[in-house]
Structure 1
Amino acid sequence: MSPSPPFLDRKTGTIDWKQVFREAVPLARLVGVFVAVALVPFAFVFLFEDNAALRAMFTVATQFVLAVGSGIVLMYVVSRGIRLADEQ
C-alpha cells in the first residue's frame, strides 16, 4: 500500500486536524517572533516623526527584518515538508 499524504487520516481519508494544528503552532510562533522583532524598529519610525533620515533608516530596518524573517520561515516550511514526506 502506498503511503498516505501528510495531514490525512490513514483510516478515514479525511483531514487530520490535530496534525494540522501541531504543525501550525510552531510556524505561527516563528512568524510571531519576527513580527515582534520588526515592531521594534517600526515603533521608532513613529518616534522620529521630525527626522526624515532616521525614519527612512528604521523603515529599511523593519523591511530587512521582515525579509529575513520571511526567508527563514520559508526555509522552515520547506525543511519541515521534506521531513514530513520522509516520515510517511
Structure 2
Amino acid sequence: MSASPPFVDKDDGELDLHQIWDEAIPLVGLIILFGSLALLPYLLIRLIFGSTILSVFFVLFVQLVLAVGTAVVLMYVIARAIQLADT
C-alpha cells in the first residue's frame, strides 16, 4: 500500500493537478469517441430519415453505442483505479 494517496503531491500535501489532468485526458478521449460515434447515426435520423421505420433501427443503434461507450468508460475508470491503488 502506498504511503500517500493518489493525486496528492508528496512534498506539500496539495492536489497534484498535473497528475489529475494526465488521468483525465484519456477519459475525455473515450467520451468524445463514443459521443461522436453516437452522433453520426443520430444526425442521419434527423436530417435524412425523419419519421420512417428505418429511424427506429437507428435510434436503437444509437442507444446501443451509448450503452457500450458508457460500459467501456466505466471499465477504464475501474481498471485505472485498481492500477493507481496498487502503486
TM-score by shorter chain over 0.5? yes
One-letter code aligned to 1:72: V
> Aligned residue for 1:37?
37
User: Runs of 4 or more off by more than 6 Å in structure 1?
Assistant: none
- Runs of 5+ unmatched residues, structure 1: none
**Offset at residue 18 of structure 1 (A):** 0.1
**Offset at residue 41 of structure 1 (A):** 1.1
- Seq. identity, %: 44
Residue 55 of structure 2 corresponds to residue 58 of structure 1 = no
**Offset at residue 12 of structure 1 (A):** 1.0
- Runs of 5+ unmatched residues, structure 2: none
Counterpart CA distance in 2 for 1:61 and 1:35 is 13
> Aligned residue for 1:9?
9
What TM-score, normalized by structure 1, do the two folds share?
0.91
**Offset at residue 40 of structure 1 (A):** 1.5
1:38-73 Cα distance to aligned partner (Å, 9 max, x none): 11111111110141x111111111010000000000
